[in-house]
Amino acid sequence: MSTPVTTWYLKQTSGADLVPAKAPSAEQDVRIVRAETPSPEFSRFLYTAVGGDVRWTDRLPWPYAQWADFLGRPGVETWVAYERGTPAGFIELDAHPEGVVEISYFGLLPAFRGRRIGGHLLAQGTARAWDLAERWPERAPTRRVWVHTCSKDGPHALANYERRGFRLYDTTLAEEPDVQTPGPWPGAGPVTHAIAE
C-alpha cells in the first residue's frame, strides 16, 4: 500500500529572517549542546527515537560505516536538547557548497513534545546554521538555510518552521509506500497509566 505525501520546502536567505522563540522555563532546565564527537550509535538512537512514530525510514538501512562517514563530514553538526540531563530532541545541520546549510533532521522524542522545547531548539539550531562557518573555516559563510518537512511529520512541524521565519518556496505531492518503523521499540511513546483506586 502507499500513501499520498505532501512535502514542503522552506528557506531563509538571511540570518535576519530568524524569529527567536520563547525559551522553556528555568524549572525545565533545557540545555542545547553540540554532540562534537561523531557517534553513529547516538545519532541512530536520536533518529529512531524521534522519527519512529512519524515514519522516518530512509536511514534505517544505513550500516555503521555510512553513519560514521556522514557524521564525520566537515560541516555536519548534531545539536541535542536535554531536559534535566535527558535527551529530548535534536537538530542536524548539513553544510553544502556555496554557503548552503540544510536542516536535515529536526524533532523531539514523543514524551517531550508540547512542552515549549521544539521552537526553542529550532531557533537555536537555525542560529547555529547561520554561524556554522565560524566553527568550520573551510566552509563558505552561510547565505541560505533550508529544510523540508512533510505530511508524515508532526502536525505542527510546518507551522513551527514558519513561526521561526522560514518561507515556503516549493511543494510536491508523491505516493510513498507504507513502511513500518521500529522507533526505539514497538509501541514506544507516552503512556497513560490507570491509577488503581
- DSSP letters for 54-84: TT--TTTT--HHHHHHHHTSTTEEEEEEEET
DSSP 85: T
* 160: enclosing H helix or E strand: helix 157-163
Structural domains of the chain, count: 1
**The pLDDT value given to residue 55:** 79
Alpha carbon of 123 to those of 15, 19, 103: distances in Å?
A: 11, 7, 12
Q: Which CATH number goes with the domain that contains 86?
A: 3.40.630.30
Taking the C-alpha atoms of residue 122 and residue 176, their distance in angstroms, rounded to an integer, is: 27
- If you average pLDDT over residues 130-136, what whole number do you get? 97
Classify residue 104: in a domain, yes or no. Answer: yes
Residue 185 lies in a domain: no
CA gap 120, 138 in Å, rounded: 28
Instruction: Kindly state whether residue 137 falls inside one of the protein's structural domains.
Output: yes
User: What is the residue-wise DSSP string for 146-158?
Assistant: EEEEETTS-TTHH
Q: Residue 31: count other Cβ atoms within 10 Å of its Cβ.
A: 13
Q: Are 100 and 147 in contact (CB under 8 A)?
A: no
- Mean residue pLDDT across the chain: 90
Enclosing domain of residue 34? 2-177
The secondary element (H helix, E strand) that includes residue 45 is helix 40-51
Residue 187 domain-assigned (yes or no) = no
Tell me the mean pLDDT in the region 141-145: 98
Residue 90 lies in a domain: yes
> Cell numbers 500513501 correspond to what residue?
3
Please check whether residue 195 lies inside any domain of the structure. Answer: no
Domain assignment present for 24: yes
59-110, pLDDT tens digit by residue? 999 999 999 999 999 999 999 999 999 999 999 999 999 999 999 999 999 9
pLDDT digits over 32-45, tens only?
A: 999 999 999 999 99
Judged by average pLDDT, the poorest of 70-84, 117-131, 175-189 is 175-189
Residue 197 placed within a domain: no
